[in-house]
Amino acid sequence: MVRALKAPATTSAATTTSLPDVQEKVAAIIADIRTRGDQAVREYSGRFDGWQPESFRLSAEQIEQIVARVPQQVLADIEFVQRQVRGFAERQLASMQEFEVETLPGVHLGQKHIPVSAAGAYVPGGRYPLLASAHMTILTAKTAGVPRVVACTPPIRGEVPDATVAAMHLAGADEIYLLGGVQAVVSMALGTETIAPVDMLAGPGNAFVAEAKRQLFGEIGIDLFAGPTEVLVVADAAADPFVVAVDLLSQAEHGPDSPAVLITTSEELGRSVIEHVDRLLPEMPTRDNAEPAWRDNGEVHVVEDLDAAYALADTYASEHVQVLTAQPREALAKMRNYGALFLGEGTCVSYGDKVIGTNHVLPTRGAARYTGGLWVGKYLKTVTYQEVTDPAASAELGEVCGRAARVELFEGHARSGDVRAAKFGGAQLSWSPDEFARS
């Protein structure tokens, strides 16, 4: 039994397709840059960002000057956060084991991890310069061992975003470009006369950036198909309704289409949270985003018990799930579908977004049903290799391969197996009897 104290006013946040005009405009920009390269990039940067420098790439001297302008406390905070992100990524990398195993006498199978050769990182700017995205994309790629990481961020109202550039530099970006939007994503993906192409792209962005990544997927790899930021809170009667309200609004400020959902076992708490939100919103500096997000996409549901709460939460497969209950670690065993889990009142989604060390590039729009977020392994290709050194084993495999392939009507495959069964095991080749004849 689920009772809705507040239902969403729209279903727009749940749509999985881009608006046709976004698709069309992005397709046109991709085609234009594919044809005209740097000239087209320069024109789009001038049109959308009012930015047409002699070179979009920042030189080492420019980066040094920019970093020198950043307040020392900001630099110290960037370095603190990057230590957290790097440390967690290093532990992830250490958990990925290469191995080789002998499955039959003389049959050696193995796997190894190879970093992609080049990765592109998009760090959004505009109203919200998300310098934390530099940590999540660039630093994670470098920890994985990617030798070349290209990073782009837009100018903000014609100015250099000093702190963002500092974060990109300290994260280890090999090339930094002051270039934003679709033109940045396409330049990194396809390459131009002055930007060599990358193998995969990562990083959040607006609807146009997300659509560009979607259209380019296949030619290059991407981290995730991005959608609006999502937050879902599971709370029981022990939760503080003021904390719940603040945490819901902390994510609603990302954009007017950001879902903010509360599932609780306490109707009293649910109603109190709504009252707190209504009181906090009018004075919130980011009200122009948070208010429509809460009005149109905010939800509050009351359920019978926590098992029902976890089951309902799993149907959302939310990007962020915050568990504010008396026993929050129960969610680790009870839940399956989430991008990231935040356990207990001492933890909040904003920590994950900004400072704690786990990656904030996470699945949205239900994708948490089948994938996690960006992590060090995303930049690695896990490949396999095989070697058969024992003639008898090759002969045995050849006989099985011949039979198995012919069931599937793959005669060529079968003959590759037959050849080895004959050469190493003395089997007869009915389709070429003179080969490997034994005296």
Active site residues: 319-320
Q: What contacts 141, CB < 8 A, 6 or more positions away?
A: 115, 119, 121, 149, 202, 379
Q: Can you tell me whether residue 23 is helix, strand or coil?
A: helix
Mapped to the 3 state alphabet, what secondary structure does 184-245 carry?
HHHHHHHCCCCCCCCCEEECCCCHHHHHHHHHHECCEEECCCCCCCCEEEEECCCCCHHHHH
**CA 345 centroid distance within chain:** 26
Burial class of residue 207 (count of CB atoms within 10 Å of its CB; 0-12, 13-18, 19+) = middle
- CA atoms 15, 31, 44, 193: torsion sign: positive
Q: What angle do CA 302, 304, 310 make, to 5 degrees?
A: 80
Q: What is the token pair recorded at 271?
A: 């109603």
| Beta-bridge partner residues of 62 | none
Q: Integer distance in angstroms from the first to the last C-alpha of the chain?
A: 81
Which of 390, 398, 399, 388 has the alpha carbon at shortest distance from 109?
388
Query: Do residues 376 and 89 touch, judged by C-beta distance below 8 A?
Result: yes
Query: Do residues 6 and 274 touch, judged by C-beta distance below 8 A?
Result: yes
Torsion angle, CA of 168/171/175/179, rounded to 10 degrees?
A: -20
Whole-number Å distance between alpha carbons of 379 and 169: 19
